[in-house]
Amino acid sequence: MVGSSGSPRVDAESDFLRARRQQMLAALAARVRGGAEDVVQTMSFDEVVEALGRRAEYYVGTKVIPLDAIVGSVDKMRDFDRRFRPTSTRSRQRWERLARASRTGEEIPPIEAYQIGDFYFVSDGHHRVSVARSLGLKVIEARVTAIETFLAPVGINARADLELKFWRRLMLERVPFTGEARAAVAVDTPSMYGEIAETVEAWAARTMHAEGAYMDKNAMAARWYAEEFAPVVEMIEEAGVRGADERPAEAYMRVACERYRLIRDHEWSMEIMDTVKNAAGKRR
């Protein structure tokens, strides 16, 4: 815990002013870095759940959780930043009252929090979290409810990352890739996930028409990956038309669009790949 002057009231006032100063400096630094303020904003529980997709919810019980793992809020995103420093003086009296109580050893009730993977989101107890962090504590007691999600809650460092998760989830609901295919079909542009889903569904429609037989979503995802995506990516690699920073799925989508633009055909061959490669060379 931070130092004490011997006066809980004076110390609580100092605690608040220090937390506000740190928050303002962090916000200023983010603006100076140019558009990075999103990284210091508290994450919204509802936005995260919408992006990842809710599967189940169950009460875990009361346990001690790391303060560093608390990254968001259910309904007070504007009142605190990512490290739960107050963003205004609006609730200063309440904040300082809790700080005095903490410094004098009064019993502080557990907070209420949702758990998504390794992350926690406060539903009740925002000021208690803020005070605890300001005082240098590492853990806090919480009544925890766990949320299971459709997508794994990883790779979320800022609110901007949620858009990519949201569109990936929508794609996987339409085209349920699993295992190796699920990992391989990944891109960095959110809208491209919609394009991939449309591409797979169009391929399935042509295949069902040619075969005169129906395939469900699971068969569609498995067959497209095995019969279309994997062989074509191998040809792309062999022809040397994959960009240095391109993911396999990004290269597939770019080459597939270029192929259709040039020859208006859905077939693949090394001759077609050479045509795409030559056309790209002429544009340089």
Highest mean pLDDT among 4-18, 106-120, 257-271: 106-120
Domain locations in the chain as residue ranges: 8-149, 161-283
Quote the tokens at residue 33: 């870095």
pLDDT tens by residue, 157-186: 777 789 999 999 999 999 999 999 999 999
CATH 3.90.1530.10 fits 8-149, yes or no: yes
More confident residue, 219 or 89: 219
Q: Which residues contact 66 (CB under 8 A, 6 or more apart)?
A: 138, 139
| Residue 278, pLDDT score | 63
> In the structure encoding, which two tokens stand for residue 6, read together?
């011997």
Give 118's Cβ-side CA count (13 Å radius): 7
Residue in the block written with tokens 């107890």: 125
* pLDDT for 43: 87
* Inter-residue long-range contacts of 214-221, CB under 8 Å, 24+ positions, other chains counted: 217/174, 217/175, 217/176, 218/176, 220/175, 221/175, 221/176, 221/177, 221/178, 221/181
pTM of structure: 0.79
pLDDT of residue 47: 93
Give how far Cα 149 sits from Cα of 2, 48, 56, 65, 144, Å: 38, 10, 7, 20, 16
Angle at 259 between CA 234 and CA 236, to 5 degrees: 15
